[in-house]
Structure 1
Amino acid sequence: MPRILIMNAGTPQMSGAHLTKAQRSLAASSAYRSAWFAQEGDLIVSPVVIPADLLSFIGATLDFDASSLRLVVPASRQSTILDDCTLLSQPVVERLKRHIRQKSAWRLYPCYFTEGVARLAAKLGISKTGDDFALQRGPDLLNRKSHFRQLATSVALPLPHGCVATDPNGLFKAVTALKSETGRVIVKLDNGAGGVGNVILTGSKSDPLPGARDTRMISWPSLDPDALYSEITTASCKTLVVESYHLARSLFYLEYAIQDDASIGFINSGNIRLRKSTDRSERALTWTGLELPSDLENEQWLTAQEHAYRFVALARDLGYRGMINIDAIFTKDGRLLFNEANGRWGGGSVLHNIAIRLLGFDYSSRNVILSVRNVRSPSFQAAHDRFFKEGFLFDRTRKAGVIPLAADEEAGTVECVVIAPDRTAAHDQQHRLLSS
């Protein structure tokens, strides 16, 4: 059955009403990256035009006819996000109706199942289990940090000590109560995706720590809750989550799919990889990519799965259908703590999709999949030509090599996926990509 891929990453439901320039750029590059979900005959609704050479390369790599794909891009848009207003605009709906008349059965495959996606489904005559939940903005429950704490507590997920704050006074009380546990507190914006709204407060000097845009040494008595609250909150989001911050030995995620028949399928798990910036003034770690499968010990993996499944089952029972991923850590002292959930495509979704189509569903028993961001290259084609010339390009016979995923020509970088037989080989290939 052909699908309508809706690339609505970076919507207000995910990141708030006022996106930064960096968030808008990520939303655009996410559309290029998400084109790797495409299958024969799919219809892609994207906030940006996806280059023809990228679509052709995707088809050639994944062995389907890319000319069968159809692309719908809003003719007039004021931003690089596919929000509900744009998605439901008459020109977009009419163009979609014209396309889907050519075939009798379609299904929607959105990044984020918003109210607008559910209304679009009704306009197109495409029914889906979970539409009623989405019409009431139910998936928003699974993309807010405050709601995550509330829902996770109800199924006894292990969480860092913390609470929800909705004003400066609540923020001050929370920080004061939590600072003594580890000497570090993280303050999170309720709907800030990718850690952009988070600040870590520490009473001692510290290098940048994972999970925040800033790691800030303060003198606790001098904390100004009004200034901090004003700095982190936005016009559309006045809710913060405050938690004790724990140093992590392992940072990982678990991803699941809740099907229309209410069955739950485990999709993949991976390590979240970060590094220090070469700019010493930078107060955040640089996200370098993901590594599938995660390198958790078997007992750790089973424990994390047992807990995470309870949360996913709760999401299913609430009425949610679709992809859902959960972030967690094992602390330095071995404790499992969950951080947040996201009811949408996750960072590893595209990597998993590529891996199963090239290697089979059991790839994780034989291969390591590594995403590598910020590989220097002036264009997608230049990266492809370089990898071919140097013998890096993925080879179907060897079932190993490098695949360029998407280019950010403004930044002069390309994101790549490395497919290797083991972690050592994958890391060696990453080093070659980044050092030349």
Structure 2
Amino acid sequence: MAWCLQDGDAIVLPMPVSEEFLRYVTATLGIARDSVRVLVPPPGRLGEGVLSQDRLTDEDFLTALRESVQAHGIDNILPFHFDSSVAELTRELGLDKATPGFGFLDQSGGRLLNSKSTFRALAGGTGAPVPPGGVFSSRKEAETFLWERLLSQGQPAILKQDFHVAGFGNEIVSPSSGIDPLGALRTVTAESRTDLDAYLTERWPWLTDGGRNHVVIEQYLPESTPIYAEVRIEEHGVEFTGHGEMRMKPVLNGLIVPAPSAELPAFAGFLNAVHRLCRPIHAMGYRGIVSIDAIVTPDRNILINEFNCRTGGSTHIHRIGERIVGDGYFEERVLVELRRCTFPDFATTVQALSDQGLAYDPATRTGVLITVDDNSASGGFGEYCVVARDAEHARELENAVADLLAPLCAKD
């Protein structure tokens, strides 16, 4: 979220951010560090890792946030996800009337549009190409569909919780072994209907969140490449932000921007389907970021498999492209973000990148940016983004960073 900052902003975080990292981000963005206020509410019933409702309604925190809003003339709120707690906070700050689409979001619209079953309904209504599948609330119907339509025909299936992110709510069920669980936590083998019955008996409560939600079941297509497109839905319509390829290992582990598959004949149809999907979302009253996920199948077709109406895992990369790399970044540069990387301490990493000539250089518009620094008690991890002239140059920079960091981490 820090990469979305502008002069005069206040940023609300679940735990303190490293001052070194914050100065690095603001300097890279070209804004004054002293103009930005960081607010961290006291730990709540879920601890310090989650911005739970009790934390956002803490009186001392609200007083400090109101002061920042008034002192800096803040008139916009950009949450990671616009849930009921954020809606309440928006009203408390008097920003509800100035927030586009607030009426929709205030009535749990954000939850509705982050539902995988809602996606399947809107995709069906707009004719978007999707993997064969359906939405189920009955375990019996789900079992019949899985066995008769997929597993007995030799086809694996992916089962998705209605509400989750980055593949952490997905599992794959296959009639045979050897299926890599890309985009899911694991693969379960069900060679018979008895095996399937045993699996569903164990996992149905988890898949349905105790029977409260639907389950989305789709044919799983091995060897497919996950991609996405990000757009912004404004009052006047839909604005394209960018697209990319998602690295899965097995769940989301990085991005390649722009998507290499953009050269495929099917890609134009994918972008057309994205815009068709966004029309009813616009008409419903949602305003904000939408990320639409898809797969490039082995036969080079593109099937859309979900959308997320919230700040996405790609949003900060496109902000970096727009604000740091500059005009033409999408046509002239390749950005590769790597996640779950092991780092030495932040200052050592920054200095090492600079000493080796790998740090991002505004003059050449190439180099490496540290996008996330985990300075928590269990830290030692982070994310970085390579900005390169082309795919080959990106690989060279990525390999150079890996070679640089490995011995440094070994010392730690």
Q: TM-score, normalised to structure 2's length?
A: 0.90
Distance 1:298 1:243, change over 3 A: closer
**Preserved CA contact (<8 Å) 1:178 1:185:** no
Give 1:33-432 correspondences, 5 Å limit. Answer: 34-77=1-44, 78-79=46-47, 80-126=49-95, 127=97, 128-179=99-150, 180=152, 183-221=155-193, 222-223=195-196, 224=198, 225-235=200-210, 237-259=212-234, 261-275=235-249, 285=250, 287-296=252-261, 297=263, 299-409=265-375, 410-432=378-400
Distance 1:155 1:203, change over 3 A: same
- Tell me the CA shift for residue 118 of structure 1: 2.7
The CA distance in 1 between the partners of 2:361 and 2:78, in whole Å, is 29
- Tell me the CA shift for residue 90 of structure 1: 2.8
- Tell me the CA shift for residue 119 of structure 1: 2.7
Identical counterparts, % of pairs: 27
- Tell me the CA shift for residue 247 of structure 1: 2.5
Deviations 1:278-334 (A, max 9, x none): xxxxxxx25330010111215332111100111111111011000010000121123
Distance 1:86 1:411, change over 3 A: closer
Report how many residues are paired: 393
**Preserved CA contact (<8 Å) 1:401 1:419:** yes
The CA distance in 2 between the partners of 1:84 and 1:269, in whole Å, is 33
Distance 1:54 1:105, change over 3 A: closer
Secondary structure at the counterpart of residue 299 of structure 1: coil
Secondary structure at the counterpart of residue 41 of structure 1: coil
Secondary structure at the counterpart of residue 418 of structure 1: strand
Which letter maps to 1:406? V
What runs of 5+ residues in structure 1 fail to find an aligned partner? 1-33, 276-284
Distance 1:286 1:125, change over 3 A: closer
Moved more, 230-239 or 417-426: 230-239
**Preserved CA contact (<8 Å) 1:383 1:414:** no
**Preserved CA contact (<8 Å) 2:116 2:163:** yes
Distance 1:286 1:186, change over 3 A: closer
**Preserved CA contact (<8 Å) 2:159 2:217:** yes
**Preserved CA contact (<8 Å) 1:184 1:244:** yes
Which letter maps to 1:387? L
Moved more, 155-164 or 227-236: 227-236
Deviations 1:368-403 (A, max 9, x none): 011012332232222112211222111111111111
- Tell me the CA shift for residue 172 of structure 1: 1.0
Q: TM-score, normalised to structure 1's length?
A: 0.85
What runs of 5+ residues in structure 2 fail to find an aligned partner? 407-412
Which letter maps to 2:396? D
Deviations 1:145-174 (A, max 9, x none): 111111211111111121222243232122
